[in-house]
Amino acid sequence: MADGLARALAAGGTISALAAVTTSLVDEARSRHGTFPTATAALGRALTGALLLAATLKRDERLSLDFRGSGPLRGILTDATPAGDVRGFVMRPATHLPPRCGKLDVGGALGAGTLCVMRVPIAGAGLYRSVVPLTTGEIGDDLAHYLATSEQVPSVVGLGVFVARDGVVVAAGGYLVQAMPGANAAVRDGLAARVRDVPAPSAMVREGLTPAAILARLLSDLEPEVIGEREVRFQCRCSTDRVARAVLAMGRTEIDDAIRRDGRIQALCEFCGVRYELDEHALRELLATQP
């Protein structure tokens, strides 16, 4: 099944919901970063959650989620856009813990800590930043807590990643259901209860449900109407030109030192794992562009 995201309104437009299938992009992240199963699940949940929250933003913004914890994983950083592009990495990709209650122990891997949410205007205007404590470290609970405390929007977030014995991602996905102003009190207060009767997001993806079908199951008695669908993908913004600009920012002295010492400069993009190398010829060309 292709990755994608769907948006729906229900209960007369007072409930907003998003669902995503992210199996391929999460497995691409696993392959790029060489993550072990628990780290894969943590990164996959964070990537999916970032896509869901980014889909609620204006088109000229992007979203960053920075999880920092006391556990062996140490942290996760993701970056997503409303257009459906997402990238991210974990600080310790070789993290793997024994299962807890039959599931990969993402909460134990991340531990106690904080979640920093940033909305970054693409045009460079004022930055929005909010920091909240982690509640469980399970990612979905922490995002719901952020939305309730910082955005004052009652929300239910479900995220799941199913990893096979060989480490490959078999299914990944999630949903975000929010009560809008004017929502019936019974419907609003029952958001958390209604998801207890549906399978986990990864289980629904394994069944073959599309994002729209996940929304239909979640909101079956609230007359949901799908109002939009889009593709989602692992996409990094790094490039040779960006690396060149970063190298120039080092200054002429440091570049000259690198030429004498190694004859080249290497750089690794933490978000996607791509390595860049500027050899002596490329470095001297860069220096020639400077006054």
Cβ neighbors of 112 (< 8 A, separation 6 or more) are 69, 70, 71, 133, 134, 137
CA-to-CA distance for 3 and 14, rounded, in angstroms? 27
Give residue-wise pLDDT tens across range 2-53. 999 999 999 989 999 999 999 999 999 999 999 999 999 999 999 999 999 9
Residues lower than pLDDT 70 in the chain: 124-125
Per-residue pLDDT, 125 = 66
Per-residue pLDDT, 182 = 81
CA-to-CA distance for 236 and 79, rounded, in angstroms? 9
Per-residue pLDDT, 116 = 97
CA-to-CA distance for 237 and 88, rounded, in angstroms? 11
| 8 A C-beta contact, residue 79 and residue 42 | no
- Domains in the chain: ranges and CATH: 4-234 (3.55.30.10), 240-288 (3.90.1280.10)
CA-to-CA distance for 158 and 175, rounded, in angstroms? 5
**∠ CA(263), CA(269), CA(270), 5° rounding?**
130
Please name every residue paired with 142 in a beta bridge, in sequence order, or none if there are none.
Answer: none
245: its two tokens: 């600009």
Please identify which residue in the block is written with the tokens 């399978």.
199
Give the H or E element holding residue 249: helix 240-250
